[in-house]
């Protein structure tokens, strides 16, 4: 009976300490317009639910304006939720580069984060291209396709509980000028032979989940992030939750 009471007390004290510890903060950059808005709207309630479970505080922003060294120091994770890597103010660019290079926090990027090139009159962010494996956007499947993603590194924490292969529907699968593989650690690829409907927009070696080990910050890029129906897919939800938990430092 005494041992049982001590166990209960320990659990209560642990819960109290967890409740009193400061919440980790996550900066979520998302697009508030265009054809990615539906994905952002679907992602938010799911992210809010995950944050409650993990004792995180989410701050949503639709612009990189206001990001600087001072503001970023409050965040343990930046989630680039379909937010493109261009049109960032100079202060935000410098602060983000320092944040990643010096490991001041973690980063998870989705989909539009590799829209690298000259868009809307803005030049390519060369540092960000190098961060993503020295790539540039080339083309995409405009009419969407379903494809099979194949896990390459099942031992990485981001892939914990993820099946060896899984299907992703209604995605616009980017192609790049080259594979990022020589510069990044690939966690998963898409098998282009499984595209339904078939498409000639192919790369051959086509990584879709990777991390850049040359940066001090824990970082994960997940290409899939166009269709709001991804959140109906439990594997996709698990993948994104794993990525965020690892990048913020809660898993090893």
pTM of the prediction? Answer: 0.91
Average pLDDT over residues 78-92: 96
Higher per-residue pLDDT: 195 or 18: 195
Average pLDDT over residues 19-31: 86
Please, is 31 exposed, middle or buried when counting C-beta atoms within 10 Å of its C-beta (0-12, 13-18, 19+)? middle
The pLDDT tens digits of the residues spanning 137-169 come to: 999 999 999 999 999 999 999 999 999 999 999
pLDDT at 2: 47
The verdict on whether omega for the bond into residue 157 sits within 30 degrees of 0, i.e. cis, is no
Residue 193 has pLDDT above 50, yes or no: yes
Residue 185 has pLDDT above 80, yes or no: yes
- Give the pLDDT band of residue 20 (cuts 50, 70, 90): low
**Domains in the chain, please, with CATH?**
24-136+182-187+206-247 (3.40.50.880)
């Amino acid at each position: 009976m005494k041992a049982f009471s001590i166990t209960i007390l320990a659990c209560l004290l642990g819960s109290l300490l967890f409740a009193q510890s400061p919440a980790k903060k996550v900066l979520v950059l998302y697009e508030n317009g265009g054809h990615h808005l539906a994905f952002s709207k679907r992602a938010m309630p799911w992210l809010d639910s995950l944050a409650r479970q993990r004792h995180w505080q989410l701050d949503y922003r639709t612009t990189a304006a206001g990001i600087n060294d001072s503001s970023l120091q409050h965040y343990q994770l930046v989630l680039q939720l379909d937010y493109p890597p261009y049109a960032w103010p100079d202060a935000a660019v410098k602060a983000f580069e320092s944040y990643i290079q010096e490991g001041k926090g973690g980063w998870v990027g989705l989909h539009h984060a590799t829209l690298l090139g000259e868009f809307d009159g803005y030049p390519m962010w060369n540092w960000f291209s190098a961060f993503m494996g020295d790539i540039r956007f080339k083309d995409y499947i405009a009419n969407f396709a379903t494809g099979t993603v194949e896990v390459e590194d099942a031992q990485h924490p981001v892939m914990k509980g993820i099946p060896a292969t899984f299907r992703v529907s209604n995605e616009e699968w980017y192609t790049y000028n080259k594979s990022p593989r020589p510069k990044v650690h690939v966690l998963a690829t898409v098998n282009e032979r499984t595209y339904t409907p078939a498409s000639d927009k192919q790369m051959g070696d086509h990584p879709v989940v990777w991390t850049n080990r040359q940066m001090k910050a824990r970082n994960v890029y997940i290409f899939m992030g166009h269709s709001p129906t991804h959140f109906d897919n439990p594997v996709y939800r698990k993948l994104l939750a794993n990525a965020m938990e690892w990048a913020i430092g809660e898993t090893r």
